[in-house]
Amino acid sequence: MSIIPLNITNLNGFALTQDSQNNFVTPIELPDWPYVLGGPAGQGTIRDRPEDFSVYENLSFSPSGEGEHVFLQIEKSGENTEYVARCLARFADVRQQDVSYAGLKDRHAVTTQWFSVWLPGKQAPDWSFIETDTMRVLQEVRHARKLKRGVLSGNRFKIVIRQWQGEKALTQSHLETLQKEGIANYFGEQRFGHGGQNVTKALAMFKGMKCKREQRSIYLSAARSYLFNCLLARRVAQNTWNQPLPGDTYVFDLSHSFFTMEQPDETIVKRLSAKQIHPAVFLWGKGMKMDDYLDPSLPSCLSELAQGLSDAGLEPDIRPLRINVESLSWQYLTENELELSFTLPAGSYATAVLREIIKH
């Protein structure tokens, strides 16, 4: 679905988007963000089939068993989250906004996630009638409040890499390092649209290009994520993504609580080493000053993206530069099939782990 109002011109394989004044907006390319481990030691394919990529949501609380909202734990394969939500709304004969979920999940995967359906004073239907070859209901439980975005403690992944080839000893070393030290908390490439086009469209939107409300939200998110990745990439390149710097802000592990320290002391160093806290930067929003974060070594478009996000009135948020990779294990199913299992905090991407291990 295109929202570009005028012509598209091609330059070196990238589309140029025109803003409302008929000026071309130079496309923003997604860089190959710096690697923590210097680059992958192998290559292979993922998502060869849905069952090769499994995701299991862990809620941050237990539903009470009573209330107006029916919580459903659903396993789906080859279906996206919004499609399942629409099916639930139609089957329960409720409005689309009466169905909610904690997070979007990949379509080309087997995912187990939670949905809630608001049924005040109503008997729940027999959910087994909604089940298909690609969707089944695993649990049903009541709760007093609807399911809100982000209320997860994390996601558990099991990923099979097929046609794997590479250096086994170096791959083993990389996995052991990730297990011990964590990983740079990059946003995944899916956040930016194909080839980073959502970031380019965000820049065009800031220059006056018209778009629908839901598209605006997607472009704002892409722009903010791109800014974060650029700031994180600079720290990775400097090898300071997991080290304290003067004036750094720190986030407690698995928390949104944070504090700032002008000069890191021995306690900060010890807590960082124990992975109890992580260096963090703010996701861009109103009131933030570009001089505090951006410098001439970063792409010039970042100032325009930052200004556009500030003008959009977004509230700043915080995101750690590092995350722990919990319960990381691996095994070779065959000589050319590597299986990885791990858990990440909510909002983090499995691709941040995979890109350090394989080129895919």
pLDDT digits (tens, 9 = 90+) for 77-133: 999 999 999 999 999 999 999 999 998 888 889 999 999 999 999 999 999 999 999
Does the pLDDT value for residue 4 go beyond 70?
A: no
Per DSSP, the three-state class of 204 is helix
DSSP state of 103: -
How does pLDDT run across 173-195, given as a tens digit for each residue?
999 999 999 999 999 998 999 88
pTM (two decimals):
0.88
**What tens digit of pLDDT does each residue of 89-100 get?**
999 999 999 999
Domain 61-150 CATH assignment equals 3.40.30.10: no
Average pLDDT, the chain: 90
Q: Do residues 308 and 205 touch, judged by C-beta distance below 8 A?
A: yes
Query: Taking CA 319 as the corner, what is the angle to CA 318 and CA 324, rounded to the nearest 5 degrees?
Result: 145
Backbone angles phi, psi at 218, to 5 degrees: -65, -45
Q: Give the whole-number percent of the chain exceeding pLDDT 90.
A: 79
What is the sign of the dihedral through the CA atoms of 233, 238, 244 and 246? negative
Burial 18-42 (b: 16+ CB within 10 A, else e): bbeeeebbebbebeebbebbeebbb
Catalytic pick among 98, 106, 292, 317: 106
52 is an active site residue = no
- φ, ψ of residue 117 in degrees (nearest 5): -125, 125
- pLDDT at residue 20 greater than cutoff 60: no
Are 152 and 102 contacting, i.e. CB atoms less than 8 angstroms apart? yes
Asked whether the beta carbons of 226 and 197 are under 8 A apart, the reply is no
Domain spans in the chain, listed from the N-terminal domain onward: 9-30+184-323, 61-150
pLDDT of residue 330: 98
Sequence-distant (≥ 6) Cβ neighbours of residue 331 within 8 angstroms: 338, 339
| CB neighbourhood size of 43 (10 A) | 14
Q: For residue 348, what pLDDT band results from cuts at 50, 70 and 90? A: very high
Other Cβ atoms closer than 10 A to 234: 16
- Which CATH architecture fits 9-30+184-323? 2-Layer Sandwich (3.30)
Which pairs from 12-20 meet CB under 8 Å and 24+ separation? 14/195, 15/197, 15/200, 17/200, 17/201, 17/203, 17/204, 17/209, 18/204, 18/209, 19/204, 19/207, 19/208, 19/209, 20/207, 20/208, 20/209, 20/210
How far apart CA 358 and CA 159 sit, in angstroms, is 12
Say how many residues make up the chain: 360
SS3 for 178?
helix
Residue 1 has pLDDT above 80, yes or no: no
Q: Is the pLDDT assigned to residue 214 strictly greater than 90?
A: no
Q: Residue 110's closest CA among 55, 45, 46?
A: 55
Q: Which residues of 295-331 are buried (b: 16+ CB within 10 A; e: fewer)?
A: eeeeeebbebbbebbbebebeeeebbbbbbbeebebe
List of residues 6+ apart from 211 with CB closer than 8 A:
3, 201, 205, 219
In this structure, what are the phi and psi dihedrals at residue 279, rounded to the nearest 5 degrees? -60, 150
Radius of gyration of the chain measured on its C-alpha atoms: 22
